Amino acid sequence: MTERIPCIREGCANTILPATAARTGGYCMPCKQEMEREERQRYIEANRRDVNLYAGITDPVKF
Ligand SMILES: [Zn+2]
């Protein structure tokens, strides 16, 4: 019998297998995927901000 453990993310009611928890750091797969997506989005936005910084220099009319 495999005991399932609750996802550690606040407000998430999903339960996961210990093997999954070991892979994801305690999160269920939907949470894990959502976090990865958010992280990628943050990364993209951070890079975009750099680009905008240059854009502001070469194109000050935009702001
Ligand atoms: Zn979860």
> What confidence tens digit (pLDDT) does each residue in 11-39 have?
999 999 999 999 999 999 999 999 999 99
pLDDT of 45 above 80: yes
Q: CA 19, 2, 21 angle in degrees (round to 5)?
A: 25
Token reading at 5? 């453990």
- Cα dihedral 48→49→53→56 (10° resolution): 80
Q: How far is the CA of 51 from the centre of ligand 1 (A)?
A: 34
Centre of ligand 1 to C-alpha 43, Å, is: 22
State the distance from the centre of ligand 1 to the C-alpha of 39, rounded, in angstroms.
16
25: helix, strand or coil: coil
Cα distances (angstroms) measured from residue 33 to each of 13, 28, 37, 38: 16, 9, 6, 9
pLDDT of residue 42: 94
C-alpha 63 – ligand 1 centre gap (Å): 40
| pLDDT surpasses 60 at 62 | no
